[in-house]
Structure 1
Amino acid sequence: MQPRCDPGANRMKVPLKWLADYVEVTLTPGEVAQKLTVAGLEVSGFRSFGLPVPEGLRIRQDEPGPVWDRDKVFTAKLLSVAKHPDADKLKLPLVEYLGGKTQQLVTGAPNISVGDSGQKVVIGLAGTTFWDGHVSPKKMATLTPKPVRGIPSEGMVMSNFELGINDEHEGIILLEDDAPVGVPLADFMGDIVLEIDVLPNMARCLSLVGIAREMAAITGKKLKNPPKPSAGIGPDVTDRVAIRIDDAKLCPRYAATLIEGVKIGPAPGVMQRRLTYSGMRPINAVVDVTNYVMLELGQPLHAFDYDVLKARARGKTPTIIVRPANPGETLVTLDGKERKLSPDMLLIADEQGPIALAGVMGGLETEVTATTTNILLESASFDPVSIRRTSRALDLPSEASGRFARGVHPDMVPAALHRAADLIARASDGVVAKGIVDVYPSPLPPCIIELKMTEVERLLGVPVPLDECVKVLRALEFVVEVGTDSLKATVPGHRLDIQDGPADLIEDIARLRGYADLPMTLLSEPLPAQRGNEGLVFEERAKDALVALGLEEAISYSLTTPEREAPLSEVGHVMIANPISSERTAMRRSLLPGLLEAVERNLKTFDAVRLFEIGSVYHPVAGRPLPDEPRRLAIAVVGRRVPEHWGDGGSGPRSAMDFYDLKGIIEAFLGDLHAVGYHFRPTRKVAAYHPGKSATICVSGTQEESSSPPGSVGTPDDGAEVGSFGELHPRVAAAYGLEGKTILAAEMDLDRLRSLVPPRFAYRPVPRFPAALRDVAVIVPEEMASENVVNVIRQGGGELVREVRLFDVYRGDSIPSGTKSLAFALAYQADDRTLSDKEIEKAHKAVMGRLTHVLKVTIRDGKA
């Protein structure tokens, strides 16, 4: 039975008195916590039940509760219960405690009645501290004697709530029948519970025996395994149930047995207390035993009502089938909810249909109820990935699924089954059938690892004696065969984490020997030459340049969905086999979707957003298991060109950024990177951008040391395409919640750009000689791009043309229809001299001649 509970799949609560059943604990709680933490089991907190905080335990205390004073809180025996003369709901219990002393008390507890006697209870005398539940929030109070409806009361019969054990305050504590009388409750029930964070590679320690095994190895004490259960004396179970496993990969082993004639009632008091202290709620003997054994051995179990299974089989022998779910199947689970199942979920079924979600939760129809008399008990090993996927898909975390998701070794299955069957029979007066039905199609072969002492010294940097290695491994229940300077270790059945051979064994040796005992040793050889990460250095340069241009870096999720990327990205995604949520099912193909989502969120707060992101995208490659992961740069800007200012004089909102603002950002960015020969080509091929407001980015580049000035421009016919930019199409903007916004975006292939940017660039001194400025205006066809004119100007003026800037565009009646006038400012300059008027005039005429000859344009004004 796996009731839904707080999933402690990575945390183990260890009551120290329970731990002492399996290993002698002579250390203080503080010393236990320190030694476990050093050995890799971090003790992150503790809870005290009735005891003062132990000295030396300097970790977080979870919900400090009342201390049970040894002079005031005792176990007691109920001698009689009389009716209160003036209150129908109150009773007058007479209790015996501490050497035959008696005390008459007043209580309204519903779980004792007038005429009762013999029950064992807990009495608190005057001065007892307890939780007062009659105020909100609860607070600590001190018991003071006072009459209740005219009857004196010198104490209280205590509840679990009042003593800080749990939140149950509807009745008083009723102890087990054999509880001693007059014993201080702190001695009888007081305990310290350590909370241990268990790392994935230590999943074997998600059990009391697992923690005890580590503790025994640390302290040199002997591990005491649970007592061997009695053999079944009932009918042979092989005649009562059959088992079939359809997929041995998903379920390596499945075993079951039968307990007949059970009487469903409460579990023994000690078991209930241990479960409560471990963070679980007692339910009934059967459920409590399955949870108890899970906490004890780390093996989850489940109990079915055998008579229901037999009725489903129409009186025949039930067959338990472990199989994947069929499409469209459903199951009503123990929480009463109908679950829609998918073929990637593993089921426990019979020939009529599903009866449980394997390793996650049982079905409602076959649950154990108060009328159950015959129980089929299951113990199994399931594929961790399958259980984890099902638990996440259905949002059904539990202690059981958490353990299966970490991995449960098939060798643990029969031991836990025998132990639980024996405890259920003892707690419910049942009879265990003879034997078990155990289906194990492909037993795991024994894992034998050879470990040489030279390898231990190589990895740890210090020699470790052979006998010390043997001692540690045997304490962890490895079977060790000793050689001259090596050993062979057979991995025990509870270890699924041993995968890397000798390194895993050496880790255990170092861990239990103590990392602090490993000496600090300087490297005996010089460090190898360190090579810089050119890609990382280039990306840092790119980030610095973009931040200097006023952009802010964003980091978005690498996981997305194909639907979220559909407005921008091509089809064909790398899909996640085991997605953590329905919103993270695929690897991104583009950075822009995540960046646009960030823009949409930021526009709720700011009127201008300028973001960039550098990261990997993921493109599937046919015939290869892993995708390509090119690096990309994405930019998204929107909003005011400049922020509001008090000096604006209330002239209204500033103009919004447009295509040319983004073009300027990209030009400045490429210039800062010393890209050579970059230019832009108008394009209509990028569907995500607005037609007529988009362009591709091209860089001619060089792998040689560059002496060209930063920002030197190439011709339209040369260079490699490294990206594109433009104004987002309104349809795309609307898909990301940006309706009515002018969104400017760009995306570049950073790997290709890096290959085109020169690794080194020669220093060019700032010109010492002045530049001469000239203007030229030309009438060109409407469809001609200004870049064509700029390139011809540079060709005509040669090296003397240092800058060409478009400063005016005119369309009007004074020029022919279908044309436009472009006015450019030109700067002529030389590095080694001041240009003469003759040189300037010659270069300017060459420019105008080139424009007339090559582009066939009209010069509006041929004079400077």
Structure 2
Amino acid sequence: MRISLNWLRELVEIKLNPEELAETITMSGFEVEEIEDWHTWADGVVIGKVAQCQPHPNAHKLSVCQVDVGKGELLNIICGASNVRTGIYVPVALVGTYLPKIDLKIKPVNLRGQMSYGMLCSLKELGLSTDIDGIHIFSQEHLQLGADVRPLLGLDDIILDVTSTANRSDALSMVGMAREVAALTGGNLNIPESAPILLPQNIGNLSLKISELAACPAYFSTLVRGVKIAPSPAWLKQKLNGAGINPINNIVDITNYILLEWGQPLHAFDSQRLKSIDGREKITIGVRFASIEESLKTLDGKTRKLSTQNLVITANDKPVALAGIMGGAETEIYSGTENIVLEAALFDPVVIRRSSRSSGLRSESSARYEREVNHFCLEMALYRALSLIEELAGGTIVAQEIADNRPDLSICNRSIELRLERINQVLGPVELGDNNIDELTSVDVENILTALGCKLTTSSHATWTVTIPPYRYRDLEEEIDLIEEIARLYGYERFCETLPEKPEAGYLPIDQELLRKLRASFRAEGLTELMHYSLVKPGEDKQIALNNPLFAEYSALRTDLIAGLIDAFQYNLEQGNGSLNGFEIGRVFWQEEGLQETDMIAGIMGGDIIYSHWQNSGKEEPMTWFAAKGILESVFTQMGLKVEYHPDRQDSRLHPGRTASLWLGGSKLGVFGQLHPQLRQEKDLPASVYVFQLDLDVILDLLERDEFLISTFKSYSSYPVSNRDIAFFAPISISVADIEKVIMNAGKSLLDSVELFDEYHGENVPSRQRSLAFRLTYRANDRTLKDNEVENIHNRIREALVEKFGVSLRS
């Protein structure tokens, strides 16, 4: 926000020079981006009077002027402006003057045979914005010739460009900044206030229809008749120029002035144009959301297609303004306006933010509504505007309609308990000078909070009940907020720099350590870590859709990681990068009795890990199901996990005969399998593509148990092993995992390991069966096993397999 120091001085006593004030404001948490000194724009420009004006003898577009600047002699000045004439008071740039805004130094110059000793200036040449072409003509009479023009034009000012934080909506106003400066410097405030206006009985045929009470909690509509549209007085124009707003006319300028002064946006409609919307004498002002087929031509001259996210102001149900953003061109104030309807309203910040983004339009009004306008100052800003309309436009207030659904404004008088002990505990000691260090005192706290406008009541020793001023109720909610304000106003630089008394070495939480180990294990197996967006295309079951997406293609949250990995695999092939071996750790979301989310590990494999021109003559060997499974098994082994595999056909993207569900400690861990042939053909992928997806929480929950975290010593047997093989025909429906489990249970303590080393389908194998061969390793920790001991256990295992699964033993 652009802050005029001249205007600010009217509201608060300022004891600092501009540079010191800018430094103080910046150190308090705001940012002064620029100090703009207007004094330099018209240094050397004085008031002059055109004593005589004649056409140039050699140029029909130029005039030869004799200008009196109070020096006794008239200056001969050539002027090309069409509005120059005898008897007017004008700004005159004397010889030697430098005008920085147009980068021009005034020198004597010969123009078509006539010497010119100066220049008659326009406002644009002096750096001020205006719609008027030609030189500036002062409206005042009997001005002092030769006097400095800067006080008359408001160029004796300095502008601070201040950026406020998002939580300080009150600082987007001159009154708010005046309060801030008063709290920082101790200056006296002089806030303008207007008394409530007594309104006559409603004779204006004006009514309200607020359809969206949540989006518009308060709406004041005031009918004012008999206004006279005219240019604003100089003081009002100067204030608007200082804020970077072009003056238009007295009514529009008043609404902009209140916006700057109080931070409360207002809008004025032409009453007669509102009536002409549908020809009815009675006007019903409404607030509702727009329909898709509606459009509105705004004040910037653009016709905008409206959406259901746009909150609109209507007249007899026809849109006439984008609520809180910009008015409509059809009902704008113009030179012939006689009656106006003045709007003062509160709108929900989220609604205005969405509407502004949807329409691609931001304004000074929307910038304030998006941060939430203070509910407390609505009436004060309205009364101030109406009093100025009466004063500057001669209007008569006829009627007012109010729809006020605000919650009890007593919430604005929030009370917070504040403890001195807690303040010093959080902020620490302060430097008092001369190497003296002490803590904040009760007097310091009371002075700072009183300067902020808070009221303090002592509730016990060094404890206060602090009543928050209404204009700060949004950002001062808890004790820590008050402590932050105390630090900010006392001065961050005055607090001591301290280090923790007992610094400790940093460490990672156990889940982060385990996650890093998992990542390292997958990378060690040749998999590259991938990252994808959490936003995907909509259309899947149980998806969570976004209410306000940036793009339709990314309007839902992903329900798994496999889909993104398949797309990445396809993309790598299309780009000529070959098959992809990668994994991803990320979060998935779904709807099931509410919104659910969890972290997953997923991977895709299909490339030849030992791809080599030397070994394979440049030919890539497709990965087998067992090789892909071996990568997973290797990671599980490194992590100390025993995972069981069971046939699974639930995921339609995976091959029904080459897919397994993974189980860990009785909980489902995830799925592993080969891509379905149909999906592979649709995406033009090779046959040997395998994917897995694991629930990260299941892994971490198990690994965080004491038996995994605490290492235990296990002695290694020094006695030799005894190996036995067992082969048999088993039904295809029986999984190897089930067979291994029965073998281990039957072998008990003497069976050291079980390994499947052969599987055969084909000739001499019974239908719907397969031949399996296992190597069983027996070992004892305290002795060398005898043959009869091994044979007894081995026969027990054979009998268990026959009894449990009905296998046909071959050896």
Q: How high is the TM-score relative to the length of structure 1?
A: 0.75
List per-residue Cα deviations over 1:691-748 (Å, max 9, x = no partner). Answer: 3343211123xxxxxxxxxxxxxxxxxx43111133455777899xx66477643322
- Aligned match of 2:629: 663
Structure 2: distance between partners of 1:86 and 1:835: 128
Determine helix, strand or coil for the equivalent of 2:522. Answer: helix
Q: Which runs of 5+ in 2 are unaligned?
A: 429-438
1:312–1:141 Cα change, 3 Å? closer
- 2:681 and 2:162 map into 1 onto residues whose CA distance is 50
Please point out which of 382, 396, 409 is paired with 1:444: 409
- For the residues of structure 2 that align with 1:784 and 1:77, how far apart are their CA atoms? 110
Corresponding residue for residue 459 of structure 1:
423
Residue 174 of structure 1, aligned match among 130, 136, 140: 136
How far did residue 301 of structure 1 move?
A: 0.8
Instruction: Please give the per-residue CA displacement for 1:382-404, whole angstroms capped at 9, x wherever unaligned.
Output: 22233233333433332212212
| Equivalent of residue 172 in structure 2, options 191, 206, 217 | 206
- Contact conserved, 1:126 with 1:154, CA < 8 A, in 2? no
Q: Is residue 605–residue 628 contact of structure 2 (8 Å, CA) maintained in 1? A: no
User: How far, CA to CA, are the matches of 1:504 and 1:293 in structure 2?
Assistant: 29
Number of residue pairs matched by the alignment:
783
Match of 1:35 among 12, 16, 24: 24
* 3-state DSSP of counterpart to 2:369: helix
User: Partner amino acid for 1:70?
Assistant: D
Query: After superposition, where does 1:814-833 map in structure 2 within 5 Å?
Result: 828=777
- Alpha-carbon shift at residue 325 of structure 1 (Å): 5.0
Equivalent pair of 2:53/2:66 in contact (CA under 8 Å): yes
Q: Which amino acid aligns with 1:120?
A: V
Partner SS, residue 321 of structure 1: strand
Q: Is the 8 A contact 2:56 2:63 kept in 1?
A: yes
Task: Give the conservation status (yes or no) of the 8 Å contact 1:638–1:741.
Answer: no
- Quickly say closer, same or farther: Cα 1:545–1:91, change in 2 above 3 A: farther
Deviations 1:743-794 (A, max 9, x none): 6433222222233343434355788889899998877777776656766776
Is the 1:640–1:657 Cα contact (8 Å) retained in structure 2?
Answer: yes
Identify the match of residue 542 of structure 2 among 552, 571, 579. Answer: 571
User: Judging changes above 3 Å, is the alpha-carbon distance between structure 1 residues 739 and 117 closer, same or farther for their aligned structure 2 residues?
Assistant: farther
SS at 2:161 equivalent:
strand
Task: Supply the AA of the counterpart residue of 1:250.
Answer: A
> Partner of 1:3 in structure 2?
none
What amino acid is the match of 1:433? I
Q: 1:113 to 1:497 in 2, by over 3 A?
A: same
Structure 1 position 300, deviation (Å)? 0.7
Aligned partner letter, 1:754: L
Q: Which residue of 1 aligns with 2:602?
A: 635
The 8 Å contact of residues 94 and 102 in structure 1, kept in 2 or not, is answered as: yes
Higher helix share: 2
Equivalent AA in structure 2 for residue 399 of structure 1: E
User: What's 1:320 paired with?
Assistant: 285
Partner SS for 2:168: helix
Q: Does 1:353 align with 2:318?
A: yes
* Aligned positions of 1:764-775 closer than 5 A: none
Residues 15, 274 of structure 1: 8 Å contact kept: yes
CA distance in 1, matches of 2:97, 2:302: 46
CA contact (8 A) 1:733 1:741 kept: yes
One-letter amino acid of the counterpart of residue 31, structure 1: E
| Residue 511 (structure 1) aligned to one of 488, 492, 511 | 488
Over aligned residues, Cα RMSD in angstroms?
A: 5.0
Q: Residues 634, 602 of structure 1: CA spacing in aligned structure 2 closer, same or farther, 3 A cutoff? A: farther
Structure 1 residues 77 and 379 mapped into 2: Cα distance closer, same or farther (>3 Å)? farther
**Partner residue of 2:369?**
404
TM-score by length of 2: 0.79
SS in 2 for 1:243: strand
Q: Give me the whole-angstrom Cα distance separating, in 1, the residues matched to 2:92 and 2:809.
A: 108
Helix, strand or coil at the partner of 2:254: helix
Q: Which residue of 1 is the match for residue 700 of structure 2?
A: 754
Distance in 2 (CA, whole Å) between partners of 1:821 and 1:639 is 28
Q: Which amino acid aligns with 1:495?
A: R
Letter in 2 for 1:17: N
CA separation in 1, counterparts of 2:368 and 2:726? 79
Query: Which of 215, 219, 222 is equivalent to 2:185?
Result: 219
Equivalent residue number for residue 432 of structure 2: none
Cα 1:619/1:148, change in 2 over 3 Å: same
- Going from structure 1 to structure 2, the CA distance change for 1:299 and 1:449 (only over 3 Å counts) comes to closer
Question: Which residues in structure 2 correspond to 1:154-165 (within 5 Å)?
Answer: 156=119
Deviation at 1:202? 1.4
Q: Decide which moves more: 149-158 or 33-42.
A: 149-158
Please report how far the alpha carbon of residue 218 of structure 1 lies from its aligned counterpart in structure 2 after TM superposition.
Answer: 1.1
Rounded Cα–Cα distance in structure 1 between residues aligned with 2:474 and 2:173: 15
Residue 691 of structure 2 aligns with which residue? 745
Counterpart amino acid of residue 488 in structure 2:
R
In structure 2, the CA distance between the partners of 1:326 and 1:755, relative to structure 1 (3 Å rule), is same
Paired residue secondary structure (2:329): coil
Structure 2 partner of 1:804: 755
Distance in 2 (alpha carbons) for counterparts of 1:118 and 1:230: 43
Q: Please report how far the alpha carbon of residue 446 of structure 1 lies from its aligned counterpart in structure 2 after TM superposition.
A: 5.8
In the alignment, what sits opposite 1:431?
395
**Whole-angstrom CA distance in 2 between matches of 1:401 and 1:130:** 34
Q: How far has the Cα of 1:255 moved from its partner? A: 1.8
SS at match of 1:669: helix
Between the aligned partners of 1:311 and 1:592, the Cα distance in structure 2 is 61
Q: How many angstroms apart in 1 are the aligned matches of 2:107 and 2:570?
A: 63
* Aligned counterpart in structure 1 of residue 585 of structure 2, from 614, 622, 642: 614
Cα gap change, 1:259 to 1:647, in 2 (>3 Å): farther
Letter in 2 for 1:336: K
How many Å apart are 1:441 and its aligned residue?
Answer: 4.5
Q: Partner amino acid for 2:191?
A: N
Partner of 1:197: 163
Distance 1:722 1:477 in 2: 59
- Counterpart-to-counterpart distance in 2, 1:850 and 1:149: 124
* Mapping for residues 489-568 of structure 1, pairs under 5 Å: 490-497=467-474, 500=477, 502-517=479-494, 533-554=509-530, 556-558=532-534, 560=535, 564=537, 566-567=539-540
Q: Aligned pair in 2 of structure 1 residues 801, 309: CA closer, same or farther (>3 Å)? A: same
Q: Mark the CA change 1:781 to 1:508 in structure 2 (over 3 Å): closer, same or farther.
A: closer
CA contact (8 A) 2:779 2:785 kept: no
SS state of the match for residue 494, structure 1? Answer: helix
1:16 counterpart = 2:20:
no
Query: Is this contact kept in 1: 2:49–2:90, CA < 8 A?
Result: yes
Given candidates 320, 329, 346, the residue that maps to 1:381 is: 346
* CA–CA separation in structure 1 for the residues paired with 2:574 and 2:135: 57
Deviation at 1:205, TM superposition (A): 0.9
What secondary structure is seen at the aligned counterpart in 1 of 2:10?
A: coil
- Where does residue 43 of structure 2 map in the other structure? 70
Does the 8 A contact of 1:634 with 1:745 survive in 2?
no
Distance 1:86 1:421, change over 3 A: farther
Match of 1:48, SS state, is strand
| In the alignment, structure 1 residue 476 sits paired with structure 2 residue 452 | yes
Q: What runs of 5+ residues in structure 1 fail to find an aligned partner?
A: 1-11, 52-66, 133-139, 701-718
Residue 46 of structure 1 aligns with an amino acid whose one-letter code is: E
- Hey, what's the Cα distance between the residues in 1 that align with 2:779 and 2:368? 77
- How many Å separate the matches in 1 of 2:681 and 2:56? 75
When structure 1 is superposed on structure 2, of 386-395 and 328-337 the one drifting more is 328-337
Q: CA deviation at 1:306?
A: 0.8
Deviation at 1:204, TM superposition (A): 1.0
In 2, Cα distance between equivalents of 1:227 and 1:182: 38
| Mapping of residues 179-328 of structure 1, within 5 Å | 182=146, 189=155, 191-226=157-192, 228=194, 239=204, 241-246=206-211, 248-264=213-229, 266-268=231-233, 271-312=236-277, 314-324=279-289
Q: Which deviations, in whole Å up to 9, do the C-alpha atoms of 1:66-114 show, x marking residues without a partner?
A: x54735x5565556665555556556566555756765555666xx446
Matched, 1:726 2:673: yes
Q: Is the CA contact 2:204–2:223 (under 8 Å) kept in the aligned structure 1?
A: no
Distance verdict in 2 for CA 1:337–1:98, change over 3 Å: same
Q: Secondary structure at the match of 1:373?
A: coil
In structure 2, the residue corresponding to 1:194 is in which secondary structure?
Answer: strand
Quick one: which amino acid aligns to residue 32 of structure 1?
Answer: L
Kept in 1: contact 2:526–2:609 (CA 8 A):
no
3-state DSSP of counterpart to 2:334: coil
Where does residue 710 of structure 1 map in the other structure?
none
- Give the conservation status (yes or no) of the 8 Å contact 2:83–2:134: no
